[in-house]
Structure 1
């Protein structure tokens, strides 16, 4: 699945910044990495027509966290090579509208975690999915109550978010990878559903039936246009495909993201200012970002920098892992292979195929359940 080409030259954008040097707009349909990116691009379009108040209106929707301020200088070097790394989390908070999922559990966890590496030139990207059940050495983190959690070895990755929210999640990823995260994006369950509904659904083709009462999903084999509820069920299901573990679910998530990108590329949103505004309202209400993307204008600039990436120029892999010998319900990173992944991203190079060939991830029948392309 990994691409074998190196980085692409082009825009020289400083890592960590929300903006960068503007490129001449391209004709035809814009391309976006996610539905949220489309919404942010919508803000630019509307603001450019003189509706400057839209920025102020949408700013009130966004939630942001000052991760740079919280982590200070105890971070990997900020490498200025034109690339960008973003930690993207799907939060499974059980509060409020999310309460119908998970049987009444309290608190929140990172149900989905991906590191998005955008190569220099912003024409290609690699996505590395981190299984939530990965056992890691978690650093010390400040807790929501003002105390400190000491962390330690053999801690589940998704507990980082439970312990210390976005700051601890970013800190854990940076300690694992040695790569500084330039940005942070988080979408919660209810926001994800609304975003898919606002986009008009996402079309996928399933090669087999998928039925999982825990994720509220019941699909026959064939082509479907998934609404928000069904899309959420697909990216969360783990019992209806493969061996019922998290690695199979990641394959479904990756297939869905590619389908979402293709769908977004085909929607003529730019012809309807109202649809753009509605989408922007939904997306900004669903997002939590780092403070550098905490204003609609900054988020829009960031999103426009991603619009040249489509699914064909995106490599998606799972962090190289193997099943833990003590607890087979958990996975542990393969040291040598994991280093290959981090070294490649740090050097702004494609992830080599040898990094994932012996991994338990990216294998099994789950990857063939949803038709690719």
Structure 2
């Protein structure tokens, strides 16, 4: 039987490695593969470390939707015990912060990644154990964990997103490696050689099976791959977790109670949960999710852009982020599938529409002026703020001097067509048109057909929040 669990706070182990949070969802899914091995699950549950969190102390909380479960997956750079081989790190700032939204009502699950570099308005938190607590402040989202522990991070996530969080789960570096090794590695294709000393990773190019140690380095690697950004790393983590889920759900793990038990035990030995996440609740979740299809497991990153005050930090793009959170909070169906540069949208008249092709110039290299050709007061300022949040340099706003086009249009000067396409990709259904009188600043003229930023003000989940599913997550070679 599970050991007795009091309300006493228990030490929180070293937490989730970068990207290891996906294994938590995997666990929830594969438990359903063999509920007949109930005695084994009791033993697995007995290996969990648990912590009491007083959510009543949070004050007003978001409403809970019956049937849906939201689990906060957290991780940090704290390194102790077997994890000490991965260097030293001060404090307990999570490197990974994810909301796992499990929805039997929608027959699936969505993992929403909240980048650690996000700058947000954090709520005040009381001191907890050896944590000093904090006053309400603007700072990086993972500061809450450092200053107030799990309860403070939980409270911050709820207040920032409006999503009712039911439980939390964490996994440490060693646990992630053990999970990967328990399924005999994960197949990935590495397009280019990787040499990243910070992530303890050196891989040649080509298709290969990553061991637990290699997989840990792969999902931790930041500066040895891509552009070195946290967003780029999150994309790779999602691809890896998609490949891992496919292997678990289609391989021998699901076919044998013995294999399943070994997999679950390797997870349980190294995870920490709140003490309200009981075996009964885990089993109920598993029953509800056992018929889940890989196409219904979605990976999403909150819509974001550079923080206007610090381009090395991240600001959540509104209203897109708010629409995503609202959909999760209300358990609304969230479509997924990688966005293809505006495919399926109209546009493209008057000089070559930019909506049918993926932009080739990044927003950070585009300077745009916003002109309000409608009767909606303040619309140019509103749009310019959103463009600034996406990384564009906004030269100014104003009202039109002459005739307003019937269709929202991005005008560009010589050599600036690709820059105009980038703006058009963010301005829903805009077309692009050349104006030889313009210089290097493109001009967005908002007309009467304005329908918000791409995927924005029409309601529902914005296109910028639609990521990938476990079914269509490709390995790195495509």
**Alpha carbons of 1:193 and 1:70: their partners in 2 closer, same or farther (altered >3 Å)?**
farther
> Which structure dedicates a bigger proportion of its chain to helix?
1
Return the offset for 1:347: 2.7
Return the offset for 1:322: 1.2
Q: Deviations over 1:69-102 (max 9, x none)?
A: 464543212232x32222122333211111122x
Q: Is residue 73–residue 169 contact of structure 2 (8 Å, CA) maintained in 1?
A: yes
Query: Equivalents in 1 of 2:223, 2:475: separation in Å?
Result: 13
Which residue of structure 2 aligns with residue 158 of structure 1?
A: 142
Which residue of structure 2 aligns with residue 37 of structure 1?
A: 28
> Which residue of 275, 297, 302 maps to 1:319?
302
Q: Is residue 71–residue 169 contact of structure 2 (8 Å, CA) maintained in 1?
A: yes
Which residue of structure 2 aligns with residue 191 of structure 1?
A: 175
Q: Is residue 107–residue 292 contact of structure 2 (8 Å, CA) maintained in 1?
A: yes
Q: Over the residues paired in the alignment, what is the CA RMSD in angstroms?
A: 2.8
> Which residue of 282, 287, 304 maps to 2:271?
287
> Which residue of 297, 302, 314 maps to 2:285?
302
Q: What is the DSSP-based 3-state SS (H/G/I as helix, E as strand, rest coil) of the residue aligned with 1:328?
A: strand
Which residue of structure 2 aligns with residue 109 of structure 1?
A: 93
> Which residue of 81, 90, 95 maps to 2:80?
95
**Alpha carbons of 1:122 and 1:192: their partners in 2 closer, same or farther (altered >3 Å)?**
farther
Return the offset for 1:128: 1.4
**Higher alpha-carbon deviation: 171-180 or 181-190:** 181-190
Q: Deviations over 1:138-189 (max 9, x none)?
A: 1122344366522433311122222222222211110111110122221111
Q: Deviations over 1:239-289 (max 9, x none)?
A: 122221111111011111111110101222354443333222211112111
Alignment of 1:217-366 (within 5 A): 217-293=201-277, 295-351=278-334, 354=455
**Alpha carbons of 1:300 and 1:92: their partners in 2 closer, same or farther (altered >3 Å)?**
farther
- Whose relative contact order is higher, 1 or 2, with alpha carbons under 8 Å and at least 6 apart? 1
Query: Equivalents in 2 of 1:36, 1:266: separation in Å?
Result: 14
Return the offset for 1:68: 4.7
Return the offset for 1:229: 1.0
Which residue of structure 2 aligns with residue 64 of structure 1?
A: 50
**Higher alpha-carbon deviation: 37-46 or 148-157:** 37-46
Q: What is the DSSP-based 3-state SS (H/G/I as helix, E as strand, rest coil) of the residue aligned with 1:149?
A: coil
Q: What is the DSSP-based 3-state SS (H/G/I as helix, E as strand, rest coil) of the residue aligned with 1:131?
A: coil
Unaligned 5+ runs, structure 2: 1-22, 340-454, 457-461
Query: Equivalents in 2 of 1:297, 1:120: separation in Å?
Result: 16
Which residue of structure 1 aligns with residue 385 of structure 2?
A: none
Return the offset for 1:56: 4.7
**Alpha carbons of 1:189 and 1:87: their partners in 2 closer, same or farther (altered >3 Å)?**
same
**Alpha carbons of 1:368 and 1:271: their partners in 2 closer, same or farther (altered >3 Å)?**
closer
Return the offset for 1:310: 3.8
Which residue of structure 2 aligns with residue 370 of structure 1?
A: 476
Q: Is residue 122–residue 306 contact of structure 1 (8 Å, CA) maintained in 2?
A: no
Query: Equivalents in 2 of 1:124, 1:274: separation in Å?
Result: 26
Which residue of structure 2 aligns with residue 137 of structure 1?
A: 121
Q: Deviations over 1:269-325 (max 9, x none)?
A: 3544433332222111121112221x4454333334333334322332211111123
**Higher alpha-carbon deviation: 250-259 or 203-212:** 203-212
Query: Equivalents in 1 of 2:475, 2:263: separation in Å?
Result: 29
**Alpha carbons of 1:371 and 1:153: their partners in 2 closer, same or farther (altered >3 Å)?**
farther
